[in-house]
Amino acid sequence: MEEPDLEEYEEKEPELRDIGVIAAALGLSERDIERYGNHIAKIPLSIFQRLDGGKRGHLVLVTAMTPTPAGEGKTTISIGLADALSILGNKSVVNIREPSLGPCFGIKGGATGGGRAAVQPMDRINLIFTADFPAITAAHNLLSALINNHIYHGNELNLDPKRIVFPRTVDMNDRSLRQVVVGVGDRDKGVMAMDSFVITPASEVMAIVALASDYNDLKDRLSKILVGFTFNGEPVFAGDLKAQGSMAALLRYAMEPNLVQTVEGTPALIHTGPFGNIAHGTSSLIADRLGLMLADYVVTEAGFGSDLGAEKFVNLVCRVGNLKLDAIVIVATVKALKMQGGDKEAAKDNIRAMEAGIANLLKHVHNMQSFGFDPVVAVNRFPSDTSREINFIVRKMDSLGISSAVVDAYEKGGEGAIELAKLVIDRVASPPSSPHYTYEMEDDVKVKIEKVAREIYGASEVVFDHAAISDIALIHKLGFSRLPISMAKTQYSFSDDKSLLNAPNDFDVHVERIMISSGAGFLVPLLGEIMTMPGLPKSPAADRIDITPQGQIIGLF
């Protein structure tokens, strides 16, 4: 691959406001923030004591139709919408997840939006940021080390080295770490055991930080992590190893949400980063609650299509966090409609493919309607889109009574999302009193999985492998059957087969295993060939990322 000419890049410092000015826009003073330089700050959890009992803003969820590999621009739309709401005279904040180094150096590159609809400083946010991910990785691997250390020093808990279920983690796509062999115990009496790595966004510790409400809740959840089983088959938890205190100490500052700004100066809270396909896929509950106390509108983003992040946000996050959702936005693109309609190359002006692919978008709309919401469709315009293609989507939505707006936030920032913002304001004026959940907590584990697979995905049958059936029996034995579920499957299809596009029906969903995330407080059914440790593509984004002699990082976006 040809090396980039680093001399052709000129160092351009973004024109950013001091973070104290951004904090003041939310009613926060210098004593309410902890600075990480001039443009980044953390907000201590003690702020909740001062704000408790204040007003509550409106919560808007941004999701999308089934994505193409490069994504459809949910982050760009979320940022543009927050900027537009601000232009219209509202106090708004956008809540998004922290970027993971895996996709940053893999397929997608940076995850901070783009053009006029981005959060700043982009390079620092994408690369390590305030070290939340390293802290979560360290806390996770501390528990792994404590498990092996306990076995080495006599194994008082009688842990079976071959029944350790808590993996290790690293924040990088590395397929070689999916299965590893480790030595457990001393040289004379130790044994070799299988182990594995998950990417940090799939770590249960990441989910715990994203769902915990305070430090006491954090420690309680950490103590409930299932680490393995004894030789007699009894469960062993992190609390049995007295691990929660030291893990929580590593996570002390990672629990604090990060405050930055959009290109247009709208406050942005960026916190935690669970993936939407192998975790619950939304920003932290703490960030959402804080935003609702500080702003009129909180725009929060859920990972991948509505069948993943949005489903979990409604069925899991809103329940756990007692959040009231006011409106839902579904992002659609011409490119995605073409690909769902069978045009893998997304050829220009292919209306026939779009006519077929519109079924995918309508299925996502129907899913959100099943929760009790009439979503707004945001048509994210790309430079290659023709007016004929854009008008096709708008006319189709109009004919079906579905509100839509064409958004050009990348080029125009908030001004390019004004129409969308006005539709959202109309929606939050009469939100549903409460969502219609897909399943009840009292439902059997199999029933919960079947309801999501049939009602949200459109599956005709749900096939449980023998290992999954054994997992369900264990879940009942341990008393975890009433936990909500966080389905893990491919993001590229409603099914568990990434090649099955559009809005398929009459297909089977295969449940391979069901993992217990007892600390996070949910169960994770693994559907099809889902990977919790992705691999890098043949031509990773890492090939294009570099640093100039002046210290400017290039190739991230």
Q: Which pLDDT belongs to residue 11? A: 45
Query: Span 91-114, mean pLDDT?
Result: 87
Amino acid found at 384:
S
Distance CA 557, CA 545 (A): 9
* 3-state SS track over 371-392: CCCCCEEEEECCCCCCHHHHHH
CATH 3.40.50.300 is held by the domain 6-130+254-428: yes
pTM metric for this prediction: 0.93
**Residue with structure tokens 């929760």?**
371
What pLDDT does residue 1 have? 42
The neighbouring-strand residues paired with 407 are 380
pLDDT in tens, 222-235: 999 999 999 999 99
What confidence score (pLDDT) does residue 548 get? 87
Q: pLDDT, tens digit, for every residue of 190-229?
A: 677 777 888 999 999 999 999 999 999 999 999 999 999 9
Q: Which residue has the higher pLDDT, 197 or 382?
A: 382
Per-residue pLDDT tens over the stretch 148-207: 999 989 999 999 998 999 999 998 988 888 887 887 666 666 677 777 888 999 999 999
pLDDT digits (tens, 9 = 90+) for 252-263: 999 999 999 999
| One-letter identity of residue 334 | V
Q: What integer pLDDT is reported at residue 2 of this predicted model?
A: 47
Provide CATH 3.30.1510.10 ranges for the chain. Answer: 133-243
pLDDT at 541 over 90: no
Mean pLDDT, to the nearest integer, of 347-370? 94
- Percent of the chain at pLDDT exceeding 70: 95
Contacts of 81 (CB under 8 A, 6+ apart): 60, 62, 94, 299, 329, 378, 407, 409, 417, 420, 421, 424
Distance CA 151, CA 349 (A): 63
Q: How confident is the model at residue 554 (pLDDT cuts 50, 70, 90)?
A: confident
Give ranges for CATH 3.40.50.300 in the chain.
Answer: 6-130+254-428
pLDDT top residue among 464 and 14: 464
Mean pLDDT, the chain, integer: 92
Domain with CATH 3.10.410.10 in the chain: 445-527
pLDDT class of 9 with cuts at 50, 70, 90: very low
What does DSSP assign to residue 278? T
CATH among 3.30.1510.10, 3.20.20.80, 2.102.10.10, 2.60.120.480 for 133-243 = 3.30.1510.10
Confidence category of residue 54, pLDDT binned at 50, 70, 90 = low
Is residue 10 over pLDDT 60?
Answer: no
Residue 477 has pLDDT above 80, yes or no: yes
Give the confidence band of 13 by pLDDT, cuts at 50, 70, 90.
low
In the chain, DSSP finds a helix count (H) and a strand count (E) of: 19, 24
Q: What is the pLDDT of residue 12?
A: 53
Domain 445-527 CATH (choose: 3.10.410.10, 3.40.470.10, 3.40.50.720, 3.20.20.150): 3.10.410.10
Cβ(88)–Cβ(421) below 8 Å: yes
Cα–Cα dist 12/14, whole Å: 6
